[in-house]
Amino acid sequence: MSLWHLTQAGVILERFVEDAYARLRSASGGAVCDTCRGGLLDAPATSSETALTSSPNGLDRNRQGGGLAHEVVGSGRVVAFGLSNVAPAGAVVAGLVLVVFYAGFASPLVIIIAFAASLCCANSISEFARKLPSAGSLYTYNSRGLGRMGGFLTGWVMIFAYALYVPAGISLTSSYASSLLADTLHVSVDSWALFVIILAVVSFVAYLGIATSSVVDLALVTGEMAVFAALAITILVKVGPAHYSLGVLSPASSPHQQISDITSGMIYGITAFAGFEAASTLSEEARRPRRTVPVSVLGVVVVAGIFYLLVVFAEMSGVGREGVSALVRQANPLAYLAGRYWSTSVLWLIDLVVVLTGLGFVTATFNAVIRVLFAMGRERALPGSLARLSHRHTPMMPIALVGGFTLLLGLPLTYNYGGGLTFRYLAAPAALSIVLMYLAVNVATIWAFRTEFRDEFQFWKHLVLPAIAALLLLFPLWGAVDPRSGSLVDLLPFVTFGWLLLGVIAAALLRARRPTSFDTLGRVFMPNVD
């Protein structure tokens, strides 16, 4: 099924939902507001809805009734949204285990370096968010820093990465949920059936709007991080300061006492922070976006970094230098520590946290990808119908498109291979896409603030920190493209380069057939209202 077919199916679904809503409002004596239908490029301008106008900084957009809902989320919810995309509890269970495998007792050192690299990258994104608050996020930023082609390819890759993470996350979550139900309630539900249920719930929550979705994200991410933080604090209290060691900050504490142990661990340490940029997709729906979003992007990295340091330091203190090798051999190292320092009777709680993490992750990622699709559709970089909104100011067409794609791709894979393998197959090319996006936005920051925004250029913020981030991001880039075993999972990241090639072709066609649309890429953002 092609993109065109899915788009047309979404149009039919959107009309069905809105017709049903109109009948309901009519039956209750209400009326449907016509200006709530469609997006910015589809609806006529009214006194409260202004068309795109030229300005020195691009095409500013006033806050109008036909756009995304405005000023519905504050900084707390934006941070929760970004954290849900990072999925820190999930990273502790899966990704950070690989950090410990490579770096051993020196794992906290790796986390500190990855923390610093992520902060440098977050600085670049927050600087752009301050100048160009837009739902397009890195697509809009790189359109200004790397040119129209660079911006289009960034949006193209963002959609690819986020769209793959949605079925990957739902598949893994449904697998854990199936096991949890069987182990605790002795209820047997196939993971493929739970896949359909979770997708339906996530799609409905996205349709309700970011105000509802962000509440779900806030509740889930707070609960999951609280449980693991409580376990880490319990471990540190029980072992006592006498067992704390500064050796965790020395490369000599790694398994082979070599720098290569640290650099290998950095591949997974840096990717554990991936997803924090999603907070910037809420720029058009956040209160005081030019202040809220930049602070929130940095806040996501700070909260995740402190959380990772707490948990990894507790793990090292809990097992000691000699116990690290035994820890990484456990099927679930955190469950092993929970059984040792809490009780084996609460092991189900660890599985529950993983399920909650997955639900928060897919909810946030789903919301992020539909907003990028909306932003690119609004600028006619993709079909304009993607910019049409429901009466709730949510991107109905992208919701239908992503939901259909997730069902068509994720359900057969989950049914045939299970959640674990499906996640690995889909997350491999998605992870490489994220690293490429981060590299691009740091280069774009240097260029944009040396050219278009040169009056605001600051040596440290706009040159040194982006350069450091780009340099450190070379480690996960090499880890993603280096086929260590030649297995299918190791080769799948190269699918990303095939998608990039298709993006180059699509951009060339856009420039040839709709040069006006191509020239205005990245020119839609919120006006200066703060």
HEC readout, 319-383: HHHHHHHHHHCCCCHHHHHHHHHCCHHHHHHHHHHHHHHHHHHHHHHHHHHHHHHHHHHHCCCCC
Rounded average pLDDT over 222-245? 93
Q: Bridge partners of 53?
A: 60
The predicted pLDDT at position 492 comes to 78
pLDDT at 480 over 60: yes
Q: Bridge partners of 525?
A: 60
What six digits make up the tokens of 296? 């929130």
Rounded Cα–Cα distance for residues 124 and 294 (Å): 10
Q: Which of 206-210, 442-446, 462-466 has the lowest mean pLDDT?
A: 206-210
Rounded Cα–Cα distance for residues 294 and 75 (Å): 10
Quick check: 150 and 444 in contact, CB under 8 A?
yes
pLDDT at 47 over 60: no
In tens, the pLDDT along 126-166 reads 999 999 999 899 999 999 999 999 999 999 999 999 999 99
Rounded average pLDDT over 288-317? 95
Which candidate, 235, 279, 269, places its Cα nearest to that of 81?
Answer: 279
The predicted pLDDT at position 526 comes to 56
CA distances for 193 relative to 188, 204, 320, 404, 412, angstroms: 11, 17, 42, 16, 11
CA distances for 403 relative to 148, 398, 487, angstroms: 29, 8, 30
CB atoms within 10 A of CB 390: 20
Q: Which residues lie closer than 8 Å to 70 by C-beta, 6 or more apart? A: 63, 284, 285
Rounded average pLDDT over 349-373? 92
pLDDT at 410 over 60: yes
In tens, the pLDDT along 111-129 reads 999 999 999 999 999 999 9
Rounded average pLDDT over 367-386? 92
In tens, the pLDDT along 418-456 reads 988 898 889 888 888 999 999 999 999 999 999 999 999
The predicted pLDDT at position 509 comes to 92
Rounded average pLDDT over 220-242? 93
The percentage of residues in the chain with a pLDDT greater than 70, rounded to a whole number, is 85
pLDDT at 406 over 90: yes
Task: Say how many residues make up the chain.
Answer: 530
pLDDT at 473 over 70: yes
Quick check: 144 and 452 in contact, CB under 8 A?
yes
What six digits make up the tokens of 27? 């039956």
The predicted pLDDT at position 13 comes to 44
333 pLDDT band (50/70/90 cuts)?
confident
The predicted pLDDT at position 42 comes to 36
Which candidate, 360, 359, 473, 415, places its Cα nearest to that of 124?
Answer: 473
What six digits make up the tokens of 336? 């092993």
What six digits make up the tokens of 522? 């990245």
Rounded Cα–Cα distance for residues 364 and 340 (Å): 33
The predicted pLDDT at position 2 comes to 41
pTM: 0.82
Rounded Cα–Cα distance for residues 10 and 404 (Å): 9
Rounded Cα–Cα distance for residues 444 and 440 (Å): 6
Quick check: 279 and 300 in contact, CB under 8 A?
yes
Rounded average pLDDT over 34-60? 35
- Read out DSSP for 55-77? ETTEEE----TTSS--S-B-HHH
Could you tell me which residue, 280 or 20, shows the higher pLDDT? Answer: 280
The predicted pLDDT at position 483 comes to 63
The predicted pLDDT at position 61 comes to 41
Rounded average pLDDT over 465-483? 86
Q: What is the mean pLDDT of the chain?
A: 84
Q: Could you tell me the end-to-end alpha-carbon distance of the chain, in angstroms, rounded to an integer?
A: 44
Q: Bridge partners of 73?
A: 286
The predicted pLDDT at position 267 comes to 83
The predicted pLDDT at position 131 comes to 92
The predicted pLDDT at position 525 comes to 63
Q: Which residues lie closer than 8 Å to 489 by C-beta, 6 or more apart? A: 424, 425, 428
Place of tokens 């993109």: 3
Q: Bridge partners of 524?
A: 59
Quick check: 301 and 122 in contact, CB under 8 A?
yes
485 pLDDT band (50/70/90 cuts)?
low
pLDDT at 272 over 50: yes
Please give the torsion angle defined by the CA atoms of residues 370, 444, 481 and 270, in that order, rounded to the nearest 10 degrees: -80
pLDDT at 8 over 60: no
Could you tell me which residue, 380 or 40, shows the higher pLDDT? Answer: 380
pLDDT at 308 over 80: yes
In tens, the pLDDT along 50-65 reads 333 333 333 334 333 4
Which candidate, 4, 36, 43, 40, places its Cα nearest to that of 523?
Answer: 40
Strand, coil or helix: what is 136? coil
What six digits make up the tokens of 64? 């109008």
Quick check: 161 and 437 in contact, CB under 8 A?
yes
